[in-house]
Structure 1
Amino acid sequence: MAKYKSTGKLELESSAVEFIEHLTRKKNHVSLFYAAVDLRFQVEPKDSETRIVTVNILGNLISGTYKTVTATFTVGEDMTASCLTYTFEFEKIRYNIEDAKIVESLLTYIRFSDVNYNRKVKHNSIDTGYPAEECFEDFVNVFKDDHEVEMSGVDWQKRTFTISVPSMMENFKTVKVTITVIPKNKGSRVKWTIEVEKNDQVTQEPDSFLFLAFSIRENIHSLISQIKFCK
C-alpha cells in the first residue's frame, strides 16, 4: 500500500496563532467544492506544546481510493510570521483520483476561513428574511430567464437546482453551482456547493479556487439583494 507526503507553506492574512485557535473551535468542516458526504475535514484538538493541528480528511472521495488521508498544520517558530507549514500524508488503495483535488480543497477552505473569520462570513450559505418557498421560486425564475447559464435538476420539493455557468477563470472548463433553499425561522437559508472541472494539464494555486469561491458568493449575495430577499 503506497504512502507518500506533500508539503508546503501557506501565508495567512491573520495571525497564524490566532487562526489555529479559530480552526480548532469546532471539529467538523465542509469543503468549498464538494458536499459534506463527499469531502469533509475533521479537526483534532491542537497540541499546545508543539503548535500542531491534525486534520483527518474523510468522505466518499476518500473512502474508495485511500485508507487514510491526514493533513498537519504547524505554526512556524517565528511568531511574527503569519504562515502555516502543512504536510499531507496519503495512504493509497488505488490510483484513480487526483491528489491535488484534496490538497486544493483543504487549502482553499483554510484561506477562505483566514480572510473571513473576523467578519463572521460563512463560506457557502447566506441567511435571508424571505420565506423559503417564495425565495426558491424567485431564484428559479431569475435563472430560468438568464441565457448565460444552464439550469438543471430543479426539485421543487427539496428546493434545489443546479446551474452551469461560463468559466469565471480561464483555467476551468466548467463551473457548476448547486443551490438549495431551506427554511430557517421565519426566513430561509440559501446554501450552495461548487463543482469545477479544470482544463487539462493545468495546476491551480489555492488562491485561484479562493477567487472563484469569492466570486460565486458575491454573485449570489448580489442576486439576493437585487430581488429583495433580505429584510
Structure 2
Amino acid sequence: MVSTAGAVYERVVPNATPLRGHERRGLAAEVAVQDAAATWGLPDFVMVPSVERKGRGVREISDGLLVVGDRGVVVQIKAREGEPGTREKESSWVLKQLAAASKQIHGTVRRLKMHSVQMTNGRGRSIHIDSPAVDWVGVTIIEHPAPPSDVPVPPQPGVTPVIALLRRDWEFLNLGRFLLDALSAVTTAEAATTAWRCARSSLAPNRTSWGSLSAPP
C-alpha cells in the first residue's frame, strides 16, 4: 500500500515464478532465488553457494550471499518437499525450518567473521571477500506451495538480524539496494515484535509477508 496526498494505491504482489520441473523442489528453489537476485539486482554482487573443508568433511557457506561494499546478506532457503498436510503439520514444519535456518545463518556469520573467503559471483568470476569487515544480516526464504496462516513464531536467539520471506516476496522486492537497506535498518524494537507475520491476510495470494526473526540485543 502506498499512501499519497491524493489517494491510497495498492500494488499487487505476483505469485513466484514456476520452479524447474526436472529438479527436486529444494534445488529448484535455490536456483530460482539466485536467478531472481541476479536478474533484479546485479549478478556481480550475488555469490553462489560454495563449500570448504572442515576437518575430514566439508561445509557449505550458506545457500548464497549478497555482498555490496561493507554490507552483506547470508541466504538460507527452506523448501517444502512432497504434498502439504494439515495446517498443524505445516505450521510445525515452518517453525522447525525457520529455527534451523536461523542457526545456520548465525553459524555462517561466525565463520565469515573469522577470516576472508574466496567465492564465485553470478558472472562466474572469482571474488575475494573481506568478510570480517562486512556487516552481515540474514534472510530465510520459504518455498511452500500453500503456506499456513496465523503461525505464531517467536523471535530466534542470536546477534545477527534475520528476516523471513516467502520466495514470492523475495522476487517482488528490489533485491539489491532495497533489500540491503531494509535489512540494515532492522532495530532492537523491531526484534521485540514477533517476526514471520503469518496472519491470513499477509500470506494470502498476492500479499507480501516478512518480518524480523532476531536482531542484536
TM-score w.r.t. the length of structure 1 is: 0.28
Higher strand share: 1
Q: Taking CA–CA contacts closer than 8 Å with sequence separation of 6 or more, which of the two structures ends up with the larger relative contact order?
A: 2
Greater helix proportion: 2
Structure exhibiting the larger radius of gyration computed from Cα positions = 1
